[in-house]
Amino acid sequence: MVLGDEVAAGHSDPCDGYAASSWADRLAAALRSTQPCLAYRNLGRRGLSVSEIRAGQVAKALAFKGDLAAAVVGVDHVLGQSFDADSTETELSRIIGPLRDARADVIVIGPFDISRSGLISETRRPEINQCLRQLAHRTHELAVQRGAMHVDLASHPASADPGIYSRDGRHFSARGHAVAAATVIRHLADRLSGRGTSV
């Protein structure tokens, strides 16, 4: 089960050498290689705030009764200059909490840090970087508290590569989806093998 905004939905720009497959579809394919009967549903939609994701998707995710839920939130708030760390943390807690209470494993995936790519104006780079740092910190704390996993793409070296972003900067290119999927799969593998931590 996937919840979230346009990054969750898998919107993508084409990139030579990379299949037009979202990070979530790639993750599902990797899981199906060992669990062929895996059921998969993606609730992600473009332009949703964290509160809209919580209000519109959590009940559907619970009804799906999946073992694993992945959530991506915060992109619109950060890029749209409406990020509030406290309200984002509250809403994210209301997403993670019910899923964990239902005994689902939860992965919260933070966006790449586009402020490092050279695609953002110099005047906005410090603001976006600071917001993404706050988002990562708050998500990390929630993951620790609730036994969830946190994949912090903002700290990934690929954040500095302009080729992983779409033209509008709000989602990934096909290359970005491939990098994100590989990172999430690696975190999951580490967790399942006992090498990973709760974040």
Q: How many other C-beta atoms can be found within 10 angstroms of the C-beta atom of residue 7?
A: 31
User: Average pLDDT in the 43-69 region?
Assistant: 95
| Torsion 96-177-161-124 (CA) sign | negative
Domain assignment of residue 46, yes or no: yes
Q: Cα dist. 23→18, 93, 100, 121, 191 in Å?
A: 12, 23, 22, 27, 19
Phi-psi region at 168: left, alpha or beta (left = phi > 0; alpha = psi -120 to 50): alpha
Mean model confidence pLDDT for the chain = 92
Question: Distance (Å, rounded) from C-alpha 22 to C-alpha 68?
Answer: 17
Would you say residue 53 lies in a domain? yes
Both tokens assigned to 51: 């509160």
Q: How many CA atoms lie within 13 A of 14 on its CB side?
A: 2
Domain contains 198:
no
Mean pLDDT within 150-177: 93
Q: Distance between CA atoms of 132 and 76, rounded to whole angstroms?
A: 12
In a domain, 79, yes or no: yes
- Assigned domain for 199 exists: no
What is the C-alpha to C-alpha distance for residues 98 and 106, in angstroms, rounded to an integer?
10
| Secondary structure (3-state) at 3 | strand
Mean pLDDT, residues 113-138 taken together = 94
- Check pLDDT > 50 for residue 89: yes
What's the total number of domains in the chain?
Answer: 1
Q: What does pTM read for this prediction?
A: 0.90
Assess if residue 36 is contained within a domain: yes
76 is a domain residue? yes
Domain extent at residue 180: 2-193
Residue 195 has pLDDT above 80, yes or no: no
**pLDDT computed for residue 194 by the predictor:** 66
Strand-pairing partners, residue 149, are 107
* CATH number of the domain residue 80 falls in: 3.40.50.1110
